[in-house]
Amino acid sequence: MSERKVLNKYYPPDFDPSKIPKLKLPKDRQYVVRLMAPFNMRCKTCGEYIYKGKKFNARKETVQNEAYLGLPIFRFYIKCTRCLAEITFKTDPENTDYTMEHGATRNFQAEKLLEEEEKRVQKEREDEELNNPMKVLENRTKDSKLEMEVLENLQELKDLNQRQAHVDFEAMLRQHRLSEEERQKQEQEEDERETAALVEESRKRRLLEDSDSEEEDAPAPPRPALRPNPTAILDEAPKAKRKAESWERSVGTLGSRPQLSGLVVVKKTDLDQSARRDPAASAPGAVHNGKAAGPAARAPGASSLSQLGVYSDSDDSSGSN
């Protein structure tokens, strides 16, 4: 039984490799390869950003009639991840880089542009020095001055580092830590004092409120009874007199016949009519049918307003008594 993993093949004695037919493939044949984007680029069709390192299934071909020192140059075809537009770039063995060819623009190539500018300036300087000896002397003088300035700056940096070398950073950190602890301790003490002051103030306020509530709840002392003033009657007599005078000014004198008394008409009763027919019976002390006559009838001239004044005087006298 033969081996399963055989590395050496059997060649018969009559094997002639020249008789093996060769495939004639075109020189511009394309291969499908798996690669990553060599730089950041942006699609010109849709503006999509394609970052360095993104993987693509690309088509690879050899560029015809282009080479660098016998090295072939390859072209790659990829598609945009958004609009599927075709993007092409090729190798650059002279600068060990890739160059964008079609379908996108390369981003973040400032470093490359700077290097190209430096190379161009250096090449121009060499060409100028080759034809002008005085320019060579000037450039050497400028280079020596620049070198002296660089050395002076370097010496200043060395002196600065030496001064900083004597600084004890551990001691500085320790001092800063101690000052921070002291500051925190002071803040804590201030907070405690403020808290104690607030507690004391609230306690005093509570005591004041309790004392006020106790004073309000306590019964009021009894007031002494007012004693009657013996001379109060002397003050009441002028009051009655002033009342009578005001009555006289408004109504008139009680004994006289005022002008308003004519407005009151005395109603004639049956007793008045009988008195006119029989004057003897109306005399005082006369006996009518064995009985004594009643009290004398009221004089017709008496006014009802005068009677009202008499009644009011009687009330004042009773109140003063």
The response to whether 43 counts as a known ligand-binding position is yes
Contact 41, 106 (CB under 8 A): yes
Token output for 19? 């008789």
How far from 274 is each of 267, 284, 301, 306, CA to CA, in Å?
15, 14, 18, 26
d(CA 85, CA 92): 23
d(CA 112, CA 123): 17
Beta bridge partners of 43: 104
Q: Which amino acid is it at 288?
A: H
Token output for 153? 């700056």
The response to whether 285 counts as a known ligand-binding position is no
Within 10 Å of residue 104's Cβ, how many Cβ atoms? 25
d(CA 143, CA 125): 13
Q: Which amino acid is it at 122?
A: Q
The response to whether 83 counts as a known ligand-binding position is yes
The three-state DSSP-derived secondary structure of 49-95 is EECCCCEEEEEEEEEEEEEECCEEEEEEEEECCCCCCEEEEEEECCC
d(CA 76, CA 61): 7
The response to whether 222 counts as a known ligand-binding position is no
Phi, psi values for residue 228, rounded to 5°: -65, 140
Q: Which residues does the annotation place in the binding site?
A: 43, 46, 80, 83
Q: Which residues does the annotation place in the binding site for Zn(2+)?
A: 43, 46, 80, 83
